[in-house]
Amino acid sequence: MMKYTFYLSLLFVSIGLSGQQQQMYTQFMYNKLSLNPAFAGNDPHTCVTLLYRDQWNGFPGAPKAQLASVNLPRIGSRIGLGLNLERQTIGISEKITYELAYAYKFIFGDGTLSMGMNVSGRNFTQDFTDPRLFAIQDILQDPSIPQLIQTRNLLNAGFGVYFNTNNYFLGASVPRMIRSDLDFDTNTFSSTEVRHLLIMGGGSFPLNDDIRMTPQVLFRTAENSPYTIDFNLSATFSEKYMAGLTYRTGGAGTDIGESLDIIFSFQLSQRLMLGFAHDITLSKLRTIDNGSIEMILSYCFIPSRIRTVIVNPRYF
């Protein structure tokens, strides 16, 4: 009976998340290219980022995501390019996204204003042959559950702006602007991709020669869905080690929030950064999950002849 309760709960959670289709990442400060195409070209060298997220660990069919992102150095002083490859799964559904980002940059004093767009292709799959599916009657005799694998391919485009200096940043994006039809069967009710608005900002302030404080915020909202906000405060030590805490709003009813997130990152060398996050669930889901975990690895191809001084690990 408990197994059935888990899957029934997952069904309601999935319905509740229907408006929030954009993948949620705790370590957004290291993963801006997948959220805002205007960030393309902001790294001085080619940087590759790999990310893995296991959301609501221990919950059957819970969301999981894997991301590979490549941010290329600027062409001249104006043009930035980037690539994203993302895989998301929840229950029997899988979504794979291929994305190309383009940004054009304007220099304003000590800051840079970027305007960017992305073009993406998405493959949606629903596997109704998954053995985890169950029905009260024989599943093979249930006409509402087709015994097949359904797929659908869609194109979309997004837009973003991003402004940064060495000490602060501010950005906004709509990663998907086209409300594409998601229905596998034209005879069913209409289901579409919804538009999301993401706004991010933050600053970095030295307390002394060894410690730097960095407050950051990420605001998310989508059509027909409540908004959520990540409030993050991080401390960087010796420009190599970072520890941070994030409070994420959300949940339902009397919940005090969605999660409290602990983040650690290590600049292992001038080329390599490793980050880890653990989300402690604050909503009612905490009774049946083990929180969420997220790992990120970033490598920048810096020529050995260039001696780089890391000014700010946040890459504003």
Look up residue 75 and give its DSSP letter: B
User: Is residue 190 predicted with pLDDT exceeding 70?
Assistant: no
In a domain, 283, yes or no: yes
Q: What does the pLDDT look like over 45-58, one tens digit per residue?
A: 999 999 999 998 87
pLDDT value, residue 22: 79
Bridge-based pairing of strands 272-281 and 196-203 is unpaired
Report pLDDT for 308: 53
| Mean pLDDT estimate for the chain | 85
The answer to whether position 12 is within a domain reads yes
User: pTM of the prediction?
Assistant: 0.86
Q: Is residue 303 domain-resident?
A: no
| 299 within some domain | no
Question: Has residue 310 been placed in a domain?
Answer: no
- The residue range of the domain holding 275 is 2-289
Q: What type of residue sits at position 161?
A: V
pLDDT at 235: 96
Q: What is the pLDDT of residue 28?
A: 95
- Whole-number Å distance between alpha carbons of 269 and 129: 46
pLDDT in tens, 214-232: 999 999 998 888 889 999 9
In this predicted structure, which of 13-27, 113-127, 133-147 has the lowest mean pLDDT? 13-27
Is residue 307 in a domain? no
What's residue 179's pLDDT?
84
CB burial class (10 A; 0-12, 13-18, 19+) of residue 303?
A: exposed
CATH number (domain holding residue 24): 2.40.160
pLDDT at 242 over 90: yes
* Structure token pair of residue 300: 């920048």
The answer as to whether 112 is a domain residue is: yes
For the chain, the domain total comes to: 1
Other C-beta atoms closer than 10 Å to the C-beta of 226 total 14
Judge whether residue 15 has pLDDT over 80.
no
Whether residue 129 lies inside any domain: the answer is yes
